[in-house]
Structure 1
Amino acid sequence: MSKLKPAVFLDRDGVINKDSGYVSEIDDFEFIEGAIEACIEFKKKGYLLVVITNQSGIARGLFSEDQFHTLTEWMDWSLADRGVDLDGIYYCPHHNTEGKGEFKVDCECRKPKPGMLMNAIADLNIDIETSILIGDKVSDLQAGIAAGIKTNYLVRTGKAITEEGESLASAIFDDLTTVVKNI
């Protein structure tokens, strides 16, 4: 069996890019200052980079899965052009109450459930003991904890930090740049 590898699990909206609400178009996608450089540093430190993102805008009918894939491909190429190769991108298109049609599902992949993380851990042979999850809200942390990840960080670049988030987070940082400097 091959050696387990450490990973940094990153939420997308509010961690990698500015969260302007249901980001689905390239014109609306803006990388958070320092995020790309931080990702380069994570890779230099030997971490796999895995994006895990809830995309309930698909379930709500605000944009299509094809639109999401187009934006994701653009994001992935934009990062690769700057020297950041993502090792995995996992998304949940479901919402159990607001979803429409096939997307109105109480699934195992929507954070705070750990399905996306569990799939990445199995697919990429990830060591949960040495991995880190970075999110901007409680549901990100809850998914990391449910998946057995010991180090779960919040960043201040997305949603407002709540008392619950403060209690669940291993630490809170201003942004990805600050995280990478402290690991």
Structure 2
Amino acid sequence: MKKLFLGVALLVATIASAQKGSILLGGNVGFSSEKIGDAKSTNFEFAPKVGYQFADHWTAGVEGAIGTLDVKGLEKTENYKIGGFVRYSAPLSETFSFYADLGAGYQNTSLNNAKGMYASFDPGLFINMKRGFGLNFSIGGIKYDNLDGKNDPRQERFGFDFGKTLNIGISKNFGL
């Protein structure tokens, strides 16, 4: 069994040295492809995020996602998510910072019009470049979601994927 996985993700994070009252603007972009024998699937997701840093280490905001899953021989599925997040960031030095995101919200998929909730916890490392720009690195997190659709049994998933994924991203903080 051959498996090919290509993941590209842009993960937006706040800058730990950012001042209270700044705005975070960014998002994630991800792509994966898998082939097992003659079966092939591709997945794409775009997930923007906007937040407000209300205290020196705390940011709160809204997040969303639009994605597609295309499996050869089956109908293309569209996925949507909208929710909120809170982030804690702590400087380790002038260059490096640790951050952790906790997010939750509503999700919908076009497959049987299934609806449900999601929750996630994602820690990461931030590298400060300059002028509010930086690079973010994460190696997974903890995720939970559920979906309940017409004519389908309720689906619940719980995942612990530390070390199984790699997210690399860019962030930008705007001062007010």
Q: Shared topology, TM-score over 0.5? A: no
Task: Compute the TM-score of the two structures, normalised by the length of structure 1.
Answer: 0.30
Higher-Rg member (1/2): 2
Answer 1 or 2: which has greater helix percent: 1
Which of structures 1 and 2 has the larger relative contact order (alpha carbons within 8 angstroms, sep 6+)? 1
Answer 1 or 2: which has greater strand percent: 2
Task: Compute the TM-score of the two structures, normalised by the length of structure 2.
Answer: 0.31
